[in-house]
Structure 1
Amino acid sequence: MKYCYLTHVILLLILLHFANRATAQGEALTLERCYTLAKANYPAIKKMDLITKTGEYTIQNANKRFLPQISFSGQATYQSQTVSFADAVGSLPGISLPSISKDQYKIQGEISQLIYDAGNTKMQKDLIAANTALEEQTLVSSLYGINQRINSLYFAVLLIDAQLKQNELNKANLQTQVQKAEAAFDNGVAFRSNVEELKAEVLNIEMQTTEYTSNRTAYLNMLSLFIGKKLPESMQLELPTAQYTLSAINRPELKAFDLQKNIVDQQEKQLKSDYLPQVSGFFQGAYGRPTLNIIENKFGPWYVTGLRFSWSLSSFYSLSNKRNILQLNRQSIDADKETFLLNAKVDLSQQDEQVNKYTILIRQDDAAIALRTSVTQSAEAQLSNGVITTHEYIQKLNAEHLAKQLKILHEIQLLQAIYNLKFIAGN
Structure 2
Amino acid sequence: MRGLTGWLNFVVNVILLFLGLLPGMVYAQQNKTLTLEQAQELARQNYPVTQQFELLRQTEQYSLENLSKGFLPQFTLVGQATYQSDVTIVPVDVPSIEIPAPAKDQYRINANVSQLLYDGGQIRQQKKVEQLNTIVENQRVEVELHKLRDRINQLYLGTLLLDEQLKQVDLVQQDLETGLRKVEAQVKNGVSFKSNLYLLQAELLNNEQRRAELQASRRATLQTLGLFLGEPLSEGVVLATPAAAEINGNVEIQRPELKLYTSQQTLLEQLNRLLYARNLPRTSLFGESGYGRPGLNFLQNTPDWWYIGGIRVSWPLGNFYTYRNDRKLIDVSQQQTEVQRETFLLNTNAELTQQRAEVDKLKEMLEADREIVALREKVKLAANSQLENGVITANDYLREVYAEDQARQQLILHQLQLLQAQINYKTVLGY
For 2:420 and 2:247, how far apart are their aligned partners in 1? 15
Amino acid corresponding to residue 91 of structure 1 in structure 2: V
In structure 1, C-alpha distance between the alignment counterparts of 2:411 and 2:99, rounded to whole Å = 115
Q: Which amino acid aligns with 1:62?
A: L
The Cα of 1:197 is off from its aligned counterpart by 2.0
Distance 1:243 1:46 in 2: 31
**Deviation, structure 1 residue 24:** 9.2
Match of 2:161 in 1: 159
**1:211 CA drift (Å):** 0.9
Q: Equivalent residue for 2:52?
A: 47
Distance change in 2, residues 1:166/1:73 (3 Å): same
* Inter-partner Cα distance in structure 2 for 1:414 and 1:341: 24
TM-aligned CA deviation for residue 297 of structure 1: 2.1
Deviations 1:13-69 (A, max 9, x none): xxxxxxxxxx99963111111112222222222222222211211111111110100
**Residue matched to 1:369:** 373
| Structure 2, gaps ≥5 residues long | 1-27
| Deviation readout 1:293-317 (Å, 9 max, x if unpaired) | 3343211111111101101222222
2:136 corresponds in structure 1 to 134
Task: Kindly provide the CA deviation profile for residues 223-278 of structure 1, in whole angstroms up to 9, marking residues without a partner as x.
Answer: 11111111111111111111234421111111111111112111100121122100
Counterpart residue number, 2:80: 75
2:37 partner letter: E
* Contact preservation (8 Å) 1:167, 1:209: yes
Hey, what does 2:205 align to over in structure 1? 203
1:105–1:288: 8 Å Cα contact kept in structure 2? yes
Matched, 1:32 2:30: no
Shift of the alpha carbon at 1:326? 1.2
Pick from 389, 399, 418: which aligns with 1:414?
418
Alpha-carbon contact 1:25-1:235 (below 8 Å) kept = no
Following the alignment from structure 1 to structure 2, what is the Cα–Cα distance between the partners of residues 323 and 425? 35
Amino acid at match of 2:44: K
Give the equivalent residue in structure 1 for 2:94.
91
Query: Amino acid of the residue matched to residue 65 of structure 1?
Result: G
- Aligned identity (percent) is 40
Alpha-carbon distance in structure 2 between the residues aligned to 1:54 and 1:243: 40
Aligned-partner Cα distance in 2 for 1:64–1:102: 41
* Alpha-carbon distance, 1:342 to partner: 0.9
SS in 2 for 1:381: helix
**Aligned partners of 1:25, 1:315: CA distance in 2, in Å?**
64
Q: C-alpha separation between the residues in 1 aligned to 2:338 and 2:281?
A: 34
- Structure 2 length-normalised TM: 0.89
Supply the distance in 1 between the matched residues of 2:283 and 2:29 (Cα, whole angstroms). Answer: 75
Change (3 A) 1:280 1:237: same
- The one-letter code matched in structure 1 to 2:404 is E
CA distance in 1, matches of 2:37, 2:295: 77
1:256 aligned residue: 260
Letter in 1 for 2:38: R
**What is the CA distance between 1:213 and its match in structure 2?**
0.7
Task: Figure out how many residues of one structure are paired with residues of the other and give that number.
Answer: 402
Task: Please give the per-residue CA displacement for 1:313-342, whole angstroms capped at 9, x wherever unaligned.
Answer: 222222222212211111110001111111
Letter in 1 for 2:71: F
Q: Is the 8 A contact 2:182 2:387 kept in 1?
A: no
Aligned to 1:393: 397
C-alpha contact (below 8 Å) 1:156/1:219 kept by paired residues: yes
CA distance in 2, matches of 1:381, 1:248: 57
Q: Secondary structure at the match of 2:113?
A: strand
1:9 aligned partner: none
How far apart are the structure 2 equivalents of 1:318 and 1:160?
63
Structure 1 residue 379 and structure 2 residue 383: aligned? Answer: yes
- Per-residue CA deviation, residues 115-156 of structure 1 (Å, 9 max, x unaligned), is 000000011111111112111211121121111111111111
Change (3 A) 1:96 1:26: closer
**Which of 173, 195, 199 pairs up with 1:193?**
195
For residues 343 and 107 of structure 1, what CA distance do their matches in structure 2 show?
A: 67
User: Once the two structures are superposed, what CA deviation does each residue of 1:375-407 show, in whole Å capped at 9, x if it has no partner?
Assistant: 111112222222222211111111111111110
The answer for the alignment partner of 2:25 in structure 1 is none
- Cα RMSD (Å): 1.7
TM-aligned CA distance change 1:231 to 1:360, over 3 Å: same
Once structures 1 and 2 are overlaid, which stretch shifts more, 24-33 or 319-328? 24-33
Choose the corresponding residue for 2:67, options 48, 58, 62.
62
Amino acid at match of 1:81: D
1:14 is matched with which residue?
none
Equivalent residues of 2:245, 2:426 under 8 A apart: no
Tell me, yes or no, if the aligned pair for 2:179 and 2:387 is still in contact at 8 Å.
Answer: no
